[in-house]
Structure 1
Amino acid sequence: MSLGVMEEEDLAEYFRLQYGERLLELLMKFPSTEEQSPSPSIRLLEKKKEAKIMHQAMEEKKETFKRRMEALNLRWEELGVKEAQLKAHIKKFEQFIQENDQKRIRALKKASKERELKRLRVKELSKAKQEMAALRQEHQRINAKLQDYSIFQKYLEKVVENSEFEEIHEVIGRYKTLVSMHYDLMQSAQEGQEKIDRAKARLTRYVEEKDDEVLQHNNELARLQMRYDRARSDVIIWESRWAHIQNTAAKKTLLLGTIKMATLNLFQIVSKQLKETTQVPLEDTHKQLDMIQEFIQDLSDIWAEVKKKEPTSTKT
């Protein structure tokens, strides 16, 4: 809604509130037509006069209200400007606070880094002091050693005076050459000794291997000798057993021949008793024994019958 429309609505509302009741009061003050009835021209003049007075009053009120509204609008604009200024000031203040916080954080980080750097510098300084003290001790030790070795300097100077060398460094060079040659000779001797040791080790391993082989062959020879001895003893045992078997077989053969002769004699006796001619071969001993067994069985049966009849004849 625009400012002009707001002013007209506020002005109408203002006049309605200010003059609504007063107009009613003024109208009530005028005499009614029944009580007084002036002429129409007089009433018209009076009405115009009252209307003019009311119009002037309304114009004054309207002007006063307009000035008040202008003052209010001006005040409102001033308040808007102050509000914008206040917002800008608050924004700047917040930005200032934020920047201060960031600066404080950066300052704290910087202070922490500076403290850490200071601690490292102090540590490095302490280490440098220790190294300096160690270097001083080393310097003192080297100076003391140099003082101790000064006698060798004097000795080398005397050697140069009493020898073919002209400078001390020539003596030192000759010494280094001799040391190098000695080192080479020692190296060669060590390599030769290592070769000899390796050859001895190989010879020792070879001798041990051959000793192991000889021992294995000796063990195998002993085992074969034991087998040979056992075989010989077994041969003797089996030879004695074979002789015993042969002797036993001869005895059994003799016994068998005797049995066959006895069987044949018995068979011939039985044949004579039976008075029968049998067709049994002389070598068939089993058949002969069967015939003898039958004969003996028959005799046993006859003898049993005789035994049964003897008591009967005795009673008679």
Structure 2
Amino acid sequence: MSLGIMEEEDLAEYFRLQYGERLLQLLQKFPNIEEQSESPSIRLLEKKKEAKIMHHAMLQKKETFQRRMETLNLRWEELGIKEAQLKAHIQKFEQFIQENDQKRIRALKKANKERDLKRQRMRELAKAKQEMAALRLEHQRLSSKLQDYSIFNKYLEKVVENSEGSDLSPPMQFEEIHEVIARYKTLVSMHCDLMQSAQEGQEKIERAKARLARYMEEKDDEILQHNNELARLQMRFDRARSDVIIWESRWAHIQNTAAKKTLLLGTIKMATLNLFQIVSKQLKETTYVSLEDTHKQLDMIQQFIQDLSDIWAEVKKKDQQQIRF
């Protein structure tokens, strides 16, 4: 809080704190009145006098303090004004510094740009010098070449002179050098066309040869395949013919074996039929069995033999029992 706007209570509190102890010290310096005089009136007068002196001192202190406060307030206002002026001055100075920095930056940019432009101009100048030197060399080379080719110009002039005084056909007579050059270009073009036609014909021949070679190769492959197939079929035929001989011999062996088996089968059937007839006579029964049904005959023979075996076993058993008894 500013001292210039203090309230009265704050001011009184300030005086009490600042001068209370000093007043006590001053009062202690005065001699003890009770020791000097016992009169109450005298003490009252002295107290009033002391109070008046103290009040006067307090007023002086208060005035002094107010003057000092006014001086301080004025000083404070002056400092505020100076501070505002200083801030304005600092702001102007900062603005001045900023403007100087911007000017310096623009100047640096301009200097850099001019330096780059100068370097670019120097590079362009060096390049132009190099191109100029190259053009001079090219001019010297062309001049030397022109000097070397001057003999051809003289030769062409002689050709024109000779063609005018000769008995050649009109296409071979020339009045200017450019006609000779045009004729030469025409002949070169015709030669190129002929060479191209010959090359195309040669390429067609080569392609035809290549197609013929591929065709011959394909046919050779087909012939080789047919020969291989023919050889394979011949081998199969030879194997089949050898197999035929083998199978013919096997067939003859099978036929011989079959004849033997047939003969043996006939013998077995005859023996079986004889046994069947003997069994039939022994059984004294009429059986209706076909003469060709050998299996049925064998079954009956087996049954007859089984019956005989059973009878024999029974007879043998009875004989043994009789022997025991």
TM-score (norm 1): 0.59
2:146 matches 1:146 = yes
Question: In structure 2, what is the Cα distance between the partners aligned to 1:100 and 1:228?
Answer: 117
Q: How far is the alpha carbon of 1:250 from its aligned partner?
A: 2.1
Q: What is the aligned partner in structure 2 of residue 137 from structure 1?
A: 137
Change (3 A) 1:193 1:275: closer
Alignment of 1:1-316 (within 5 A): 93-164=93-164, 165-272=174-281, 274=282, 276-279=284-287, 280-301=289-310, 305-306=315-316, 309=319
Paired AA for residue 117 in structure 2: L
Which whole-Å deviations, capped at 9, do the CAs of 1:268-302 have from their partners, x for residues lacking one?
Answer: 34444x26244243323223323333444455456
Aligned-pair identity (%): 84
Structure 1 unmatched ranges of 5 or more: 1-71
Question: In structure 2, what is the Cα distance between the partners aligned to 1:295 and 1:89?
Answer: 161
Question: In structure 2, what is the Cα distance between the partners aligned to 1:281 and 1:180?
Answer: 116
Question: In structure 1, what is the Cα distance between the partners aligned to 2:84 and 2:276?
Answer: 170
Question: In structure 2, what is the Cα distance between the partners aligned to 1:285 and 1:88?
Answer: 154
Question: In structure 1, what is the Cα distance between the partners aligned to 2:248 and 2:123?
Answer: 107
Q: What is the aligned partner in structure 2 of residue 12 from structure 1?
A: none
SS class of match (1:162): helix
Which whole-Å deviations, capped at 9, do the CAs of 1:201-233 have from their partners, x for residues lacking one?
Answer: 333334444444444444444555555555545
Q: How far is the alpha carbon of 1:136 from its aligned partner?
A: 2.6
Q: How far is the alpha carbon of 1:182 from its aligned partner?
A: 0.9
Q: How far is the alpha carbon of 1:256 from its aligned partner?
A: 0.6
Q: How far is the alpha carbon of 1:260 from its aligned partner?
A: 0.8
Paired AA for residue 192 in structure 1: G
Question: In structure 2, what is the Cα distance between the partners aligned to 1:152 and 1:246?
Answer: 111
Change (3 A) 1:99 1:309: same
Structure 2 unmatched ranges of 5 or more: 1-73, 165-173
Question: In structure 1, what is the Cα distance between the partners aligned to 2:245 and 2:84?
Answer: 143
Which whole-Å deviations, capped at 9, do the CAs of 1:20-46 have from their partners, x for residues lacking one?
Answer: xxxxxxxxxxxxxxxxxxxxxxxxxxx
Q: How far is the alpha carbon of 1:190 from its aligned partner?
A: 1.9
SS class of match (1:282): coil
Question: In structure 2, what is the Cα distance between the partners aligned to 1:232 and 1:297?
Answer: 56
SS class of match (1:264): helix
Q: How far is the alpha carbon of 1:104 from its aligned partner?
A: 1.0
Question: In structure 2, what is the Cα distance between the partners aligned to 1:188 and 1:312?
Answer: 137
SS class of match (2:119): helix
Question: In structure 2, what is the Cα distance between the partners aligned to 1:146 and 1:302?
Answer: 151
Which whole-Å deviations, capped at 9, do the CAs of 1:141-187 have from their partners, x for residues lacking one?
Answer: 22332332233233333333333334332322222221111112112
Matched pairs, number: 238
Paired AA for residue 283 in structure 1: E
CA RMSD of aligned residues (A): 4.0
Question: In structure 1, what is the Cα distance between the partners aligned to 2:249 and 2:259?
Answer: 15
Change (3 A) 1:181 1:275: closer
Q: Which moved more, 1:164-173 or 1:246-255?
A: 164-173
Q: How far is the alpha carbon of 1:116 from its aligned partner?
A: 1.8
SS class of match (1:163): helix
TM-score (norm 2): 0.58
Question: In structure 1, what is the Cα distance between the partners aligned to 2:322 and 2:91?
Answer: 173
Question: In structure 2, what is the Cα distance between the partners aligned to 1:188 and 1:295?
Answer: 115
Q: How far is the alpha carbon of 1:102 from its aligned partner?
A: 1.7
Paired AA for residue 284 in structure 2: E
Change (3 A) 1:90 1:176: same
Q: How far is the alpha carbon of 1:261 from its aligned partner?
A: 0.9
Change (3 A) 1:90 1:292: closer
Q: What is the aligned partner in structure 1 of residue 7 from structure 2?
A: none
